[in-house]
A and B are shown apart, each in its own frame.
Chain A
């Protein structure tokens, strides 16, 4: 058997004592050992940002900054206080970022979303009224493949109280006459 190390992790305000293989990543510890499957694995190489969690020094305040749990060893996270997506909602219900993502359609498949929302939370904790370029910069480590990011920016701005959700109405098209187009005879078919 592989040698294990004994570690303590402080996650979402709860202290956990674990025995894990030395090479266990923080993402693996969260997902496999603590059952916190809200943190996602998209690449396991620090490229996609789906595994983003928030971390601060244990003695510090607030939720801290966004880090990549797939390239952080679990044993190196012992001095940190970790917040995962499961710890973002409080007794009052969803965090405003979570509510805005749901309301604005900022999610489609939802897979990048926990990491994306945690990066957004870290931004707003640090800068409650960010400009659009600041939002784009802060989220540039989180890849989304569904949305084109547009509605994600909107959700962050809604969460920050900077705007209301988009409401552009669809445009009706009038009936158009058919052209003189018609099907042509098929002249040639080779299998």
Chain B
């Protein structure tokens, strides 16, 4: 059996011996290197750009300005508001202004210094509060009202009545800081055009399909003339799921010069390209009835979006729509504003839109349970929504292994014996979460399959799988080998995967919203099953012989396709399809922390994480997703924040100043896989790559409370913030003692 086996990654050897080719490893004959000039201002009108001195520098071959690529682009068809290079205005420090191609990178870099840009500096808004208060300072002209990218207000049931009738009510404000993805590979793209006008772009993207569409539109080329290839990708986490300036610039410069062109972002540029976690301010009301059941949840959410929409329309919905499990909500309301500000654009980071409200909700649930004297694990168990049910906002939950997840981490952490008894200075905290396995709603409305796979059998016994899916390190290419071996009974090492090449492979919409294993898995299984039927009919002593007999019987080469067709899902109201998924994953974490009450310095000692992924098609890969997610969540709680000064300049856009955890900063991670065997998923599988991030942050916050009795409601949990809360706690204690 290949499904469920710990099969080593199909690209493991190429990655181990250094032979794997990433975008920056591509070098083509006569290739030029280009660099992008970036804005030093948060908001300014461009009066003029003087390229004369730059163009005169020996070695400079071509230049490019915004007016040459004026069409606006973006994945979401309704919010296309970006151009490759600024056309009239720059909207954040680091916004792209001009691009220069030269014989090498250093020459291009020197040429940038010779460009003279005449800026008229404009007032800037740097916080969502300012953006609301100053609609007259228009960050982005696409906003219909003031600086609002998107406003969503939905109410399910009589929230105010439920709050009025509740026993324990928590009303608190929670703040989530912005963070960024930091893939270790910086963005890179290479373009080549042939004499017939066929354009090929290799890019470090997780959405080749949308890059294909947008390149064609912006460049004015027929889609059939544009080919996008994703080479090996060095990490993404949502940070490579927009089209970026570099892809349009290399393509246009290749068209202008007839030569291949490469752009490799510096690490600093990666920080300014951003699309990371949205900062959110959340005013939460959570009401429990006397039995500890959730009677009402009300959340007012203010979202700091940055200068462009990116996926912000979806963010405004996800911030509310994805909170309604694994617990039953009696009533629910959310009101979210996603605001434009003069900062690098936020976008989808692992757990898009829902990590922030999940933090606020899970801490509030602990606070409310405390008022009732209810154990935090019991509070969660009591509110379990069950399986095959509909959530308060009309989403259909299928399999749900949350109770088993909770039970595993409760046991593994010794919760019953240890919670509330480790202090002072040491504590345990628990949290749960839910996440989508892809979205039922394709980003641009269409009736075509979201994912397609083509499988071809050769008379040699070699299997070739053509898949549009992006392997961004999560291992989808390996799963394809396993699915082929499972259905065809071939050797998984005799499978070639050709992936993410828009000329060669059937479409897949991209590696986002945790859709790939579910949707590509279904498409691949369907294609393989069609071929398996032919092989069974043909018979044969070996796989190769069966292939030959089947090919003889067919009188043609053997190939079959499979697809994932979008189901009609979601609530019957505007926005009801956003957050609707064919299946939901569930996670529970317990975190153990130690806090030094003298200094506020604290440490995550260990996190136990149990995740219901439906069925682990490859347990090693699933554990890797759980551990990587928990690490990334803990990092957001501990240290990561995008900090800007009063002029919108990013503080320390480097890996020295924006710290991500090293091996010495990462807690011990203990991952458990729970299998609920989803009836809809391929072999029962659901997602594993994003859900397990969510509970890490609130579990840590709740553990800090268990350790020293403080409630920290603002990320990151810097030691100075912890220390301030400890001093306030001590003052309260003294006051009580005095009275």
Contact = CB atoms under 8 A, between A and B. Distances in A.
B390 A183 contact: yes
Contacts of A13: none
Contacts of A144: 184
Given A42-B186, A109-B233, A189 B391 contact: no
B192 interface: no
Interface string B665-693: 01001011111110000000000000000
A173 B403 contact: yes
A177 B386 contact: yes
Contacts of A152: 663
Interface in A80-117: 84-86, 88-89, 94, 98-99, 101-105, 107-114, 117
Contact of B663 (A149, A179, A184): A149
B392 A145 contact: no
B24 interface: yes
Contact of A145 (B184, B403, B674): B184
Nearest to B658: A47
Contacts of A168: 619, 623, 672-673
A109 B185 contact: yes
Contact of B385 (A139, A153, A179): A179
A191 B627 contact: no
Interface in A29-56: 31-32, 36-45, 47-48, 50
B244 to A, nearest CB: 18
Contacts of B623: 105, 150-151, 166, 168
A94 B473 CA distance: 21
A151 B22 contact: no
Chain A CB count within 10 A is highest, among B6, B15, B620, for: B15
A111 B676 contact: no
Contacts of A94: 13, 16-17
B470 to A, nearest CB: 11
Interface string B252-290: 000000000000101100000000000000000000000
B687 to A, nearest CB: 15
B153 interface: yes
A173 B675 contact: yes
A48 B21 CA distance: 20
A174 interface: yes
A140 interface: yes
A173 B19 CA distance: 41
A171 B675 contact: yes
A152 to B, nearest CB: 8
B328 A170 contact: no
B660 A183 contact: no
Chain A CB count within 10 A is highest, among B20, B385, B656, for: B20
A45 B17 contact: no
A143 interface: yes
A111 B473 CA distance: 9
Nearest to A182: B390
B479 to A, nearest CB: 13
A28 to B, nearest CB: 9
B235 A136 contact: no
Contacts of B654: 43, 45, 47
B404 A181 contact: no
A102 B16 contact: yes
A147 B628 contact: yes
B157 A105 contact: no
A148 interface: yes
Chain A CB count within 10 A is highest, among B154, B621, B629, for: B154
A14 interface: no
A107 B333 CA distance: 42
Given A171-B672, A179-B385, A105 B571 contact: no
B574 interface: yes
Contacts of B663: 135-137, 139-140, 142, 149, 152-153
Contact of A170 (B400, B575, B619): B619
Contacts of B181: 145
Given A37-B18, A38-B19, A47 B656 contact: yes
Interface in B1-27: 4, 6, 8-9, 11-22, 24-25, 27
Interface string B542-584: 0000000000000000000000000000010111100000000
B505 to A, nearest CB: 20
Contact of A107 (B9, B404, B672): B9
Given A181-B328, A183-B391, A184-B332, A109 B386 contact: no
Contacts of A114: 18
Name the prevailing secondary structure of the B interface residues. Answer: loop
B124 interface: no
Interface residues of A, number: 84
A190 B333 CA distance: 12
How big is chain B's contact interface, by range? 35 or more
Contact of B155 (A36, A107, A173, A188): A188
Nearest to B21: A37
A148 B674 contact: no
Contacts of A147: 624, 627-628, 631
B474 A108 contact: yes
A162 interface: no
B441 interface: no
Contact of B392 (A41, A113, A173, A184): A184
A130 interface: no
B132 interface: no
Contact of A148 (B574, B621, B631): B631
Contacts of A146: 235, 473, 624, 628
Contact of B267 (A44, A172, A176, A189): A44
A181 to B, nearest CB: 4
B662 A143 contact: yes
Contacts of A188: 153-155, 333
A111 B386 contact: no
Contacts of A189: 153-154, 573-575
Given A94-B13, A146-B628, A181-B385, A47 B390 contact: no
A7 to B, nearest CB: 18
A168 B448 CA distance: 40
B616 interface: yes
Contacts of B185: 40, 42, 109, 111
B669 A105 contact: no
Given A109-B185, A178-B386, A179-B386, A186 B154 contact: yes
Contacts of B405: 173
A109 B404 CA distance: 30
B394 interface: yes
Given A112-B184, A185-B156, A173 B401 contact: yes
Interface string B315-340: 00000000000001101110000000
6 contacts: A40-B22, A102-B12, A105-B623, A108-B474, A166-B620, A178-B387
Given A145-B632, A151-B620, A179-B386, 11 more contacts: A21-B106, A41-B186, A48-B267, A98-B13, A98-B17, A105-B9, A110-B16, A151-B623, A153-B663, A173-B674, A176-B384
A-B pairs with lowest CB-CB distance, top 4: A38-B18, A111-B234, A109-B473, A148-B631
Interface of B: 4, 6, 8-9, 11-22, 24-25, 27, 106, 151, 153-158, 181-186, 232-237, 264, 266-267, 328-329, 331-333, 384-394, 400-401, 403-405, 408, 472-475, 571, 573-576, 610, 612, 616, 619-621, 623-624, 627-632, 654-656, 660, 662-664, 666, 669, 671-677
Interface of A: 2, 21, 31-32, 36-45, 47-48, 50, 84-86, 88-89, 94, 98-99, 101-105, 107-114, 117, 135-137, 139-153, 165-191
